[in-house]
Structure 1
Amino acid sequence: MTLLAPLKHITALKFSKLSPHHIFASVASSLEPRPLPIPIVHEPAPLPPTPSEILQEIGGELRQLRQQRQLTIEDLSARTRIQPRLIQAIEEGHLEMLPEPVYVRGLVKRYSDSLGLNGLTISARVPHWAPEAATFEPTTKLQLTGFNPTIRINPLQIYIGYTLAIVCAGAVTSYLLNNAIKPPAIASNVIPPRAAGIAVVRPTNSQPAQKLADVKIGIAIQSPTWAQIGIDGTTKFTGNLQPGMQLSWIATKQVTVNTNNAGGLLLSRDGQPAQPLGKVGQKLSTTVKVSK
């Protein structure tokens, strides 16, 4: 609209037969401001909900039903064996406090089943998110000077760590058992049984004792027994004994016998008649003085 517009109207009407009133109305109408066109504004398409918002919606529904049934998070944790902090993270949609989506679906299914819902259907609504977008972050953090990183643990790393720990523990246990379980040492002075089935145990010192106080000790076995025999404070034999075996030593002070069948052992000194140490089946721990 310019100042020459009225002149254009006057020129157009110069040769017309209209009255001055019509000419004035036409000029006045040309001077009225015309409305500006209304711009068309295109509204942006709504953004899809984020995985956190979707999980928060699912968790809100589960929380509402849990509260309607007057169940606390601890009650639900006892039912489902899900840690309370994971239940709270699901209800509030905190992806940073949860493991990978495949594990979250299993937790949501267990949560839903415990409330009598169709856990498979509800768990299918759990969205998928990239592992780097929300990694399982325990609340434990390293407190270092000027550096405070968050420990990020991947479930696959946990599984590999547990497997390696089990393998190492099995290897260590096998090594300890192989070294702890050894066959009992056989005394070098025990001669294998002869044809008559008698084992003779000779003293460690093959040289005859020069002391007049030496006493020959004989032990005959008449029923199966376990025994530990010591001569003058030194253990000479430990193990199982069978009927018919005979043992002998030279003692100067005492003979110590520990056995679980005292009646199965017959003790003699210097060829005297052998006497049983106790009753059959009797456990006995005794010391016999042999000095003259």
Structure 2
Amino acid sequence: MSGWERGSSGARDGAGIGEELRRAREELGLSLEDVERATKIRRRYLEGIEREDYGVMPAPVYVRGFVRTYADHLGLDGEEYARRMREYQAAHQGEGEDDPILSGEVSVEHPAPPLVSSEGIREAERGRRFSGTSVALPIFAVVLLFAVVAAFYYIGKASYSPGASGGQGGGGAAHPAKQQQNASRSGQGGKQPAGGSSGEVTTRALEARLDVSGGPSWLEIKSDGKVVFVQTVEPGFSRTFTARHEISITSGNAGAVKVRINGQNYGALGEMGQVLTRTFTLKQAGSS
């Protein structure tokens, strides 16, 4: 039989530590369950300490740590009780036996995790899950924000081939009319028709047919000063707009938009990737 087992069998009339801790607990009106919840030491080990039956411990290495924690929780001097337990263990230790407590090779400042109550383990797991969630939520929010911004950027600014002409803008920027409309109005007559009938137009209405090819483009159409169409359109788009006096066309990718005014072919509105506004009047169409 080991020295520890011999010490356990006679512990009830030994150091008196357990009896002192039991009296202190009862004076505070605490139950063993209260102490177990607070210290995370299992009740069976608390009962063993109070009975001074230290043999219920899985190994002597845990006893001093449990006694220290128990005493501190009761408002006693945990270090003093740990010292007394160390002296008690030394007195009951067999000659030549290797006790990790006495050798100093093992620390009992904190009880080993397997000996704490299942409630303590569950609380620790909840703490880890909460910590992981606290870190993951901001990261997820940043990723989601980035995805939304990227989606709007792609819709508002279409991607063009590397060989396309840069022009004045990157093509498809949101509301390019606010950036270029005033500057481009002064050059509204700069691009001449690419072909078609040269006969005089006698109609009193102004018709503008738009065909989009070679890339998407943001479009804003004004008929007699009133906005009648705003949209990003894809290649293959074709539509005719009418006005009594004036039609204004703003494009975020002018090279992709082909224009016919009252049958006259004006070709592309501008260069690929160019943000441009051009205005056509009934008088201008009639004199072409």
Same fold (TM over 0.5): no
Q: Which one has a larger percent helix, Structure 1 or Structure 2? A: 2
With CA pairs under 8 Å and 6+ residues apart, which has the higher RCO, 1 or 2?
2
Larger radius of gyration: 1
TM-score interval for Structure 1 and Structure 2 normalised by the shorter chain: 0.3 to 0.5
